[in-house]
Amino acid sequence: MTIPGTDPDPADAARRAHATTIRNEKRRLAATALNNIAVATVVTGLVAPVIALGYQFSAPHGRYWIAFPVLWLVTAYGIHQLARRQLERLEP
């Protein structure tokens, strides 16, 4: 008779633990990749235009030019949240 919650085969338990570790590492790598994309999005949408203005490149014309950096920032935040969800799925 086995006690519930215990594993009669230690090798099987070790395989499952190893599989869990592998899944967790894959999720961490995916989260890191997504977060790097989010950082690149911020650099593209916010930092690059500020630097361009510093070098006196022509500023965008029109009323809605401020919407583009805000859109880039919102997109970056969404991608960052996807990365956080990956980390929430880590198994103990």
Domains in the chain: boundaries: 13-88
The residue with greater pLDDT, 75 or 12, is 75
* 51 close to 14: Cβ distance less than 8 angstroms: no
Q: Scanning the structure block, which residue is given the tokens 């969404």?
A: 78
Higher-scoring residue by pLDDT: 73, 62: 73
pLDDT at 6 over 80: no
d(CA 52, CA 30) in angstroms, rounded, equals 32
Q: Residues 17-39: pLDDT tens digits?
A: 899 999 999 999 999 999 999 99
Res. 75 pLDDT band, cuts 50 70 90: very high
Which residue, 32, 25, 41, 33, is CA-closest to 75?
A: 41
| Block residue for tokens 């690059």 | 48
Sequence-distant (6+) residues with CB within 8 A of 84 are 31
Query: Average pLDDT, whole number, for the chain?
Result: 87
